[in-house]
């Protein structure tokens, strides 16, 4: 019974993490076990201070069921969100709250042979700074740009680990299990698990960042494709602009609609004498430049609004293609660029009006993420819990050390 009991308890913890709060009957249904057995397991987890009672559900006419949640601090996850220039590290509790200030630092991924070592050292530094006992940390989840093979634990674009996988390299350094995935897929996982896509069956999440990423939800599950590379929206060839994309091809969506393209167009406009409250942008600090443009647009700067609207229109052209192919119920605008909020919606809708069959476009709702720039951190934590069921027992923990 030992191994089965261990599995049942992990199943319960996983369900409570993803659903926040459940009744005993709900837990029983979701793990596929009898109500008496589920009650017994929940009681043990409560006695061991892993699960807490959180009051009663709203009345539906009968006796209100007791609700259960995970205790916030019984274990933790190291969550890492990377883009091409900036990396963020958070130590998350069981309610996806950072327990210390999120560590943010510049880490250029392109042509940087020391990037993986720097990342590993920063993770170790953050764990030590948190003061949390390492035996309470169940794993490290990392979202990163590039062609990520989740089965092999490698990234074909960035962070070369030599003969090892990225997961093995960092795991050996930290003595913790490590799981990696593409940043856009983890943003989609966050939206599916905790955002506006809860309960949705067919949806898309657009990661507006230094590229234009895509996370696909098909039949209620994250879709990775045959080799795990599904969602390379950024590299759809839409333009004959002779602009070189980061992938090496010409005319990709990224060359006109990414935040990097937004920054470059803003700089060009300022140099050519465009009227704007933006007088200059930092040359190296891309994140700061992006924030300046978005803030100016929010305050009504006409030039900044025009630049973002132009990028939004191009994203909408790309979305018209995707809507024709996938017929999604909902499209969520997420990632760094979602900080611009509703400024994206009008130009995207204009592009859909012009390029999409009305009957198809009518059935698709465009929304801005409520998770915003935190989505990747939340998705990286969710990745660890998603793999919790199958991989936790392979970590440095024993059954007696874990619930």
Domain ranges of the chain: 2-70, 76-186+377-394, 198-370
Question: What is the distance between the alpha carbons of residues 145 and 38, in angstroms, rounded to a whole number?
Answer: 40
CATH of the structural domain 2-70, one choice from 1.10.3720.10, 2.60.40.10, 3.40.50.10490, 1.10.10.10: 1.10.10.10
What residues contact 273, with CB distance under 8 A and at least 6 apart? Answer: none
The per-residue pLDDT string of the chain (403 residues; one tens digit each, 9 = 90 and over) reads 445 666 788 899 999 999 999 999 999 999 999 999 999 999 999 999 999 999 887 766 667 889 999 999 989 999 999 999 999 999 999 999 999 999 999 999 999 999 999 999 999 999 999 999 988 999 999 999 999 999 899 999 999 898 899 999 999 999 999 999 999 999 999 999 999 999 999 999 999 999 999 999 999 999 988 877 888 899 999 999 989 888 889 999 999 999 999 999 999 999 999 989 998 888 778 889 999 999 999 999 999 999 999 999 999 999 999 999 999 999 999 999 999 999 999 999 999 999 999 988 888 999 999 998 899 999 999 999 988 754 444 333 333 343 3
Question: What is the distance between the alpha carbons of residues 333 and 349, in angstroms, rounded to a whole number?
Answer: 13
Global pTM value: 0.90
Question: Domain 198-370 is of which CATH architecture?
Answer: 2-Layer Sandwich (3.30)
Q: Where are the alpha helices (DSSP H) in 175-274?
A: 183-194, 254-257, 259-271
What is the β-pairing status of strands 22-23 and 66-70?
A: antiparallel
Closest CA to 183 of 146, 144, 210, 152: 144
Judge if 2-70 and 76-186+377-394 fold alike in CATH terms: no
Diameter over CA atoms, the chain: 75
For 347-368, b where at least 16 C-beta lie within 10 A, e where not — what string?
bbbebbeebbeeebbeebebbb
For 320-346, b where at least 16 C-beta lie within 10 A, e where not — what string?
bebbeebebebbbbbbbbbbbeebbbe
Question: What is the distance between the alpha carbons of residues 242 and 111, in angstroms, rounded to a whole number?
Answer: 24
CATH of region 76-186+377-394:
3.30.420.40
């Amino acid at each position: 019974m030992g191994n089965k009991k261990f599995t049942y308890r992990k199943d319960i913890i996983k369900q409570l993490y993803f659903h926040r709060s459940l009744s005993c009957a709900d837990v029983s249904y979701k793990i596929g076990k009898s109500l008496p057995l589920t009650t017994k397991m929940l009681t043990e987890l409560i006695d061991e201070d892993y699960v807490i009672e959180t009051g009663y559900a709203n009345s539906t006419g009968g006796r209100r069921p007791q609700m259960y949640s995970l205790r916030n601090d019984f274990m933790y996850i190291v969550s890492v969100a990377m883009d091409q220039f900036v990396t963020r590290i958070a130590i998350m509790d069981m309610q996806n709250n950072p327990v210390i200030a999120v560590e943010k630092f510049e880490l250029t991924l392109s042509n940087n042979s020391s990037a993986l070592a720097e990342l590993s050292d920063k993770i170790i530094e953050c764990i030590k700074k948190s003061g949390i006992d390492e035996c309470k940390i169940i794993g490290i989840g990392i979202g990163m740009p590039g062609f990520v093979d989740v089965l092999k634990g490698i990234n074909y674009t960035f962070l070369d680990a030599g003969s090892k996988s990225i997961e093995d390299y960092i795991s050996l350094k930290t003595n913790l299990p490590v799981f990696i995935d593409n940043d856009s897929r983890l943003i989609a996982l966050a939206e599916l698990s905790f955002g506006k896509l809860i309960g949705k069956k067919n949806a898309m999440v657009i990661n507006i960042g230094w590229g234009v990423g895509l996370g696909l939800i098909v039949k209620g599950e994250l879709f990775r494709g045959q080799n795990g590379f599904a969602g390379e929206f950024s590299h759809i060839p839409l333009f004959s602009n002779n602009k070189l994309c980061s992938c090496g091809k010409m005319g990709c969506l990224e060359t006109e609609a990414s935040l990097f393209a937004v920054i470059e167009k803003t700089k060009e406009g300022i140099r050519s004498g465009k009227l704007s409250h933006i007088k200059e942008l930092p040359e190296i600090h891309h994140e700061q430049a992006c924030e300046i443009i978005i803030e100016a647009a929010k305050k009504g700067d006409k030039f900044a609004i025009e630049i973002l609207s132009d990028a939004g229109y191009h994203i909408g052209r790309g979305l018209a293609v995707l809507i024709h192919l996938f017929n999604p119920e909902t499209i969520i605008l997420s990632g760094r660029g979602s900080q611009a909020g509703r400024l994206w919606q009008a130009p995207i809708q204009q592009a859909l009006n012009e390029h999409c069959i009305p009957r198809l476009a009518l059935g698709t709702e465009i929304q801005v993420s409520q998770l915003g720039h935190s989505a990747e951190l939340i998705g990286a934590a969710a990745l660890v819990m998603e793999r919790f069921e199958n991989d936790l027992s392979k970590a440095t923990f024993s059954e007696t050390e874990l619930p």
